[in-house]
């Protein structure tokens, strides 16, 4: 395929006004590409010359590109600069430069899609002395052979952005539209009102993309083998997958019920959470997927970067500990201070990824442990559609814990108090918090899903005194559910309010708090009571804001009840000064 064809399509995509038009145009481009060019077209339309996980860095800056455009076209540097500024994009400025080319006679050949891709890929291999000049030369060669439209997109591809509105979702929909609309097998399980084959096609493409992480393979398979071929695609060891991501829990108790609902699939179907939710330590480290294929072990981060070389002791642990012949494990890599055994903060561990020092020296100073919490594949069985429960069974049999390789600490709590105890234990051991996971749910690569929630204290909890309270509405109307909290101001020996608490407690806890507060009431006004400031509560929250609403001048955002500090008197509570310092520090 000539590069001019791709460039023309890019122009049409850039000027498309609706998503439907974008998808239709892209589908048309995919149908137009022959089998050899389709993989290149699929990546280049996103401004890439390789999938992200290949980690290919072209090392092309805008100043290098400018030099290449100047060398190819001979336009005035200041004029190019002005065009760049006015058009807001170096690709558009390159287009202008080619239109005003003073060296038109140098044009020597026709650019092809594969030719452009190969030249750009080669740039990545130029290293060391003279490499910049070689890159300028190679890029100038392409620009010299380009017409204005080709130059516009060539330059954008070299810089790694296309600005034509094509994202992963557009590519997914276009592959389905181009190759799968007529599939007779499709149309079994989809929404009314949409051409069933297209919706099933989109799902099949998305699934295949999650498994392979490579739209080159997906597009070619869709084209040559249709939906059936896509359904046969599988994880491949050595090729990283997108990992499942979490959402935030609205507090521990709400999280337990929410996570049991499986991505908001409807309350009516929600099982009781007891027995269905795993509460697991949330470690503060680096998310990695470990691919074990016999002795061949590779570690990839969440961004699909290969970090195997940085963690030789973990690679050894996987070689020793994993009994399965082939496995893909998901986990968190945590560095532990060799002297104290304490978990290191993430920033420390990232030194090991960057390999800032000798790898062995760093490993001795900050040995890492992989805490595994999921198993995506074991010995020929891909487990993504299996419930977490079954995947954890597979994890259990896939490896034996050894130094540097462990299961993440987890329990299936029977009540909120047990879940809270896990959370406390995790935080007290220096970890970040807990993950809440639905034991009946499958694994969704690359998605932020409600079947896995995270719960952590965002700020250090504060100990605050209840100054006023209000009765709740509705079901809890006999309970004092809204509690105003004050920080201690030693100067005036008074409490200054910092916010109002209304979540985090169970009914039983709230009823006990109500009894205690009613005994402290000094004034009543309808449903509002003022209380003697005696009861100290431990409260977590997400951040501090300044606020004219409360006497302290600050307000807690999303405060949540953690417990009563029986051991503290009101003057032991956190002070207004401390709140101020925390506000400054955040």
Q: How many residues are recorded in the chain?
A: 586
Question: Which part of the chain contacts ligand ATP (CB under 6 A), choosing from 126-134, 279-287, 467-475, 502-510?
Answer: 279-287
State yes or no: residue 332 binds ligand ATP (CB under 6 A).
yes
Give the DSSP H/E element, type plus range, for residue 294.
none
Residues 312-331, one symbol each (x = binds ligand ATP by CB under 6 A, - = not), give --------------------
Q: Are 339 and 292 contacting, i.e. CB atoms less than 8 angstroms apart?
A: no
Our measurement of the distance from residue 46's CA atom to the centroid of its chain's CA atoms, rounded to an integer in Å, reads: 20
Q: Which of 282, 391, 451, 468 binds ligand ATP (CB under 6 A)?
A: 282
The smaller minimum CB distance to ligand ATP, of residues 393 and 509, is found at 393
Q: How far is the CB of 582 from ligand ATP (least distance, A)?
A: 20
The smaller minimum CB distance to ligand ATP, of residues 30 and 373, is found at 373
Instruction: List the structure tokens of 369.
Output: 């442990």
Q: Which of 52, 203, 287, 500 binds ligand ATP (CB under 6 A)?
A: 287
State yes or no: residue 458 binds ligand ATP (CB under 6 A).
no
Q: Which of 280, 386, 540, 574 binds ligand ATP (CB under 6 A)?
A: 280
Which of positions 144-183 make contact with ligand ATP (CB under 6 A)? none
State yes or no: residue 408 binds ligand ATP (CB under 6 A).
yes
DSSP 94-116: HHHHHHT-S-GGG-----BHHHH
CA–CA separation, 490 and 495 (whole Å): 8
In sign, the C-alpha dihedral spanning 413, 414, 416, 420 is negative
Cβ within 8 Å of residue 91, ≥6 positions away: 151, 152, 153, 154, 155, 156, 159, 163
Binding residues for ATP, as ranges, are: 280, 287, 302, 332, 373, 448, 454
Q: Report helix, strand or coil for 270.
A: coil
The smaller minimum CB distance to ligand ATP, of residues 107 and 427, is found at 427
Q: How far is the CB of 414 from ligand ATP (least distance, A)?
A: 20
The smaller minimum CB distance to ligand ATP, of residues 26 and 434, is found at 434
State yes or no: residue 283 binds ligand ATP (CB under 6 A).
yes
Q: How far is the CB of 452 from ligand ATP (least distance, A)?
A: 6
Q: How far is the CB of 285 from ligand ATP (least distance, A)?
A: 7
Q: Which of 211, 246, 327, 376 binds ligand ATP (CB under 6 A)?
A: 246
Residues 418-457, one symbol each (x = binds ligand ATP by CB under 6 A, - = not), give -----------------x------------------x---
Q: Are 545 and 518 contacting, i.e. CB atoms less than 8 angstroms apart?
A: no
Q: How far is the CB of 248 from ligand ATP (least distance, A)?
A: 7
Q: What is residue 310's DSSP assignment?
A: G
State yes or no: residue 245 binds ligand ATP (CB under 6 A).
yes
Tell me if residue 282 is catalytic. Answer: yes
CA distances from residue 217 to 41, 223, 236, 465, 572 in whole angstroms, order as listed? 12, 10, 12, 61, 64
The smaller minimum CB distance to ligand ATP, of residues 186 and 244, is found at 244
In sequence order, what are the beta bridge partners of 371?
A: 332, 406
State yes or no: residue 24 binds ligand ATP (CB under 6 A).
no
Residue 502, phi then psi, degrees to nearest 5: -145, 10
Binding residues, as ranges, are: 280, 287, 302, 332, 373, 448, 454
In sign, the C-alpha dihedral spanning 541, 544, 548, 550 is positive
In sequence order, what are the beta bridge partners of 379?
A: none
State yes or no: residue 304 binds ligand ATP (CB under 6 A).
no
Residues in binding contact with ligand ATP, number by CB under 6 A: 13
Question: Which part of the chain contacts ligand ATP (CB under 6 A), choosing from 106-114, 249-257, 265-273, 274-282?
Answer: 274-282
Q: Do the bridges between strand 368-378 and strand 405-407 make them parallel or antiparallel, or are there none, so unpaired?
A: parallel
Q: How far is the CB of 434 from ligand ATP (least distance, A)?
A: 8
Which of the residues 282, 354, 437, 456 is marked catalytic? 282
Give the DSSP H/E element, type plus range, for residue 35.
none
The smaller minimum CB distance to ligand ATP, of residues 421 and 568, is found at 421
Cβ within 8 Å of residue 323, ≥6 positions away: 397, 398, 399, 400
CA distances from residue 448 to 168, 243, 280, 283, 393 in whole angstroms, order as listed? 16, 9, 18, 18, 24
Contact positions vs ligand ATP (CB under 6 A): 245-246, 280-283, 287, 302, 332, 373, 408, 435, 454
* Residues assigned a catalytic role: 282
């Amino acid at each position: 395929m000539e590069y001019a064809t791709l460039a023309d399509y890019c122009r049409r995509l850039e000027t498309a006004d609706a998503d439907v038009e974008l998808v239709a145009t892209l589908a048309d481009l995919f149908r137009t590409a022959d089998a050899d060019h389709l993989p290149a077209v699929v990546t280049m339309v996103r401004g890439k010359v390789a999938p992200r996980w290949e980690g290919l860095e072209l090392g092309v800056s805008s100043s290098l590109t400018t030099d290449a455009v100047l060398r190819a076209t001979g336009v005035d540097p200041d004029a190019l600069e002005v065009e760049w500024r006015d058009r807001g994009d170096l690709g558009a400025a390159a287009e202008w430069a080619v239109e005003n080319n003073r060296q038109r006679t140098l044009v020597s050949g026709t650019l092809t899609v594969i030719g452009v891709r190969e030249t750009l890929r080669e740039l990545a291999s130029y290293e060391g002395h003279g490499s910049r000049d070689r890159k300028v030369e190679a890029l100038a060669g392409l620009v010299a052979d380009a017409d204005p439209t080709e130059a516009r997109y060539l330059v954008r591809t070299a810089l790694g952005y296309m600005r034509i509105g094509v994202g992963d979702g557009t590519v997914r929909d276009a592959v389905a539209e181009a190759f799968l609309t007529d599939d007779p097998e499709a149309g079994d399980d989809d929404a009314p009102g949409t051409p069933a084959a297209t919706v099933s096609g989109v799902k099949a493409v998305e699934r295949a993309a999650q498994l392979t992480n490579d739209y080159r393979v997906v597009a070619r398979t869709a084209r040559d083998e249709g939906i059936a071929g896509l359904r046969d695609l599988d994880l491949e060891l050595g090729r990283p997958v997108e990992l499942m991501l979490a959402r935030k829990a609205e507090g521990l108790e709400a999280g337990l019920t929410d996570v049991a609902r499986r991505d908001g699939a409807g309350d009516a179907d929600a099982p009781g959470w007891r027995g269905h939710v795993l509460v697991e330590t949330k470690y503060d480290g680096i998310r990695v997927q470990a691919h074990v294929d016999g002795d061949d072990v590779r570690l990839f981060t969440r961004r699909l970067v290969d970090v195997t070389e940085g963690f030789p002791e973990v690679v050894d642990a996987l070689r020793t500990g994993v009994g399965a012949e082939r496995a893909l494990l998901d986990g968190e890599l945590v560095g532990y201070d060799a002297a104290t055994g304490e978990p290191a903060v993430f920033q420390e561990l990232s030194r090991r990824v960057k390999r800032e020092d000798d790898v062995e020296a760093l490993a001795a100073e900050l040995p890492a442990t992989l805490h595994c919490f999921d198993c995506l594949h074991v010995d020929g069985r891909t487990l993504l559609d299996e419930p977490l429960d079954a995947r954890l069974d597979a994890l259990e049999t896939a490896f034996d814990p050894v130094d540097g390789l462990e299961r993440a600490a987890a329990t299936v709590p029977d009540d909120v108090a047990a879940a809270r105890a896990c959370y406390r234990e995790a935080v007290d051991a220096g970890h970040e918090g807990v993950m809440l996971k639905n034991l009946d749910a499958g694994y969704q690569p690359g998605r932020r899903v409600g079947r896995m929630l995270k719960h952590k204290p965002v700020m250090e909890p504060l100990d605050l005194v209840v100054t006023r309270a209000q009765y709740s509405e509705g079901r809890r109307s006999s309970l004092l559910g809204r509690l105003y909290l004050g920080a201690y101001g030693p100067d005036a020996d008074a409490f200054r309010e910092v916010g109002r608490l209304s979540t985090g407690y169970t009914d039983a806890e709230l009823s006990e708090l109500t009894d205690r507060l009613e005994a402290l009431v000094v004034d009543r006004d309808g449903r509002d009571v003022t209380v003697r400031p005696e009861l100290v509560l431990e409260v977590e929250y997400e951040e501090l804001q300044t606020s004219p609403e409360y006497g302290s001048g600050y307000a807690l955002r999303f405060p949540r009840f953690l417990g009563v500090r029986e051991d503290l008197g009101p003057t032991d509570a956190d002070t207004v000064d401390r709140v101020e310092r925390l506000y400054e520090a955040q």
